[in-house]
Chain A
């Protein structure tokens, strides 16, 4: 997919584990894992907002467009 999710990079910068992020963002570990591994087809704005709030970053820090 052309949209690359750099969630693991941001999590490493904030020294946060997936479990911790899952609890703070109130999204299941399974869904976060889907997002982290690039298998997600779509992301809700509410989810993006919650992740950016917890990781103190911008959507552009997590999402990147790479031409196929």
Chain B
């Protein structure tokens, strides 16, 4: 691998770590907020990222817990996605990349991405349908922005995973050809 490629690879690895730490803090914060709000509902006025869901909580507990569950699951999946990316980049041997571990990790990344995309899309549609009730705050969409981008990325990564699996099959065939 050229020096430039190596540099870019390790740069991306560092960036992935930073993003993973940020997303873990977000997911952790949302989880802590959730448990606090169960025992002290006043906390719902001042959740993570200045989110105020007190109106939603007072009007419909089902809507509150449903929407918050979506927020939490999507945050956890995003952290999981970057953990999978870090794991892949850490263990991958660039001189021999075609092995089952790499294929499995790429497939896992595609599943995480597709899940985030679909859940974000569903959450956005649910929030849209709840808008006429009047208790939905405006800053909720930050948690499921670009759902279509995630679905697109998930689809592309899935195709890459399939191609990689085929590459591994061909590599194995070649390795076992005497």
> Residues on A close to B: CB < 8 A?
27, 31-32, 34-35, 39-44, 47
Bound-state Cα–Cα, A41 to B37, Å: 61
Residues of B with C-beta under 8 A to A40: 176-178
- CA of A32 to CA of B178 in the docked complex: distance in angstroms? 7
The answer for the CA separation of A16 and B135 in the assembled complex, in Å, is 86
Contacts A32-B178, A43-B177 aside, 12 further interface pairs with beta carbons under 8 A come to A31-B178, A35-B178, A40-B176, A40-B177, A40-B178, A41-B172, A41-B173, A42-B176, A42-B177, A42-B178, A43-B178, A44-B178
Q: Which of A27, A32, A39 contacts B176 (CB 8 A)?
A: A39
Interface SS majority for chain B = mixed
- Chain B contact patch, size range: under 10
Binding site for A on B (CB under 8 A): 172-173, 176-178
Check B177 against A44 for contact (C-beta < 8 Å).
yes
Q: Offer 5 A-B interface pairs, CB within 8 angstroms, sorted by A.
A: A31-B178, A32-B178, A39-B176, A40-B177, A44-B177
Residues of chain A within 8 A (CB-CB) of B173 are 41-42
Residues of A within 8 A of B177 (CB): 40-44
Question: Considering the chains assembled together, what is the distance between the CA atoms of A21 and B118 in angstroms?
Answer: 59
Q: When chains A and B are docked, how far (Å) is the Cα of A32 from the Cα of B177? A: 11
Looking at the assembled complex, report how far the CB atom of A29 sits from the nearest CB atom of chain B, in whole angstroms: 12
A44 to chain B: which residues have CB within 8 Å?
A: 177-178
Closest to B176 in A: A41
Chain B: minimal CB distance from A53 (Å):
15
Residue with the highest number of chain A CB atoms closer than 10 Å, among B173, B176, B177, B178? B178
Q: Which residues of A contact B172 (CB under 8 A)?
A: 41
CB distance from A32 to the nearest CB of B (A): 7
Q: Complex: how many Å from CA A44 to CA B176? A: 11
A40 CA to B173 CA, complexed, in Å? 9
Q: Bound complex: CA of A34 vs CA of B177, how far in Å? A: 9
The distance in angstroms between the C-alpha atoms of A47 and B178, with both chains bound, is 7
In order of increasing CB-CB distance, the 4 nearest A-B pairs are: A41-B176, A42-B177, A35-B178, A40-B178
Query: Could you tell me the distance between the alpha carbons of A35 and B178 in the complex, rounded to whole angstroms?
Result: 7
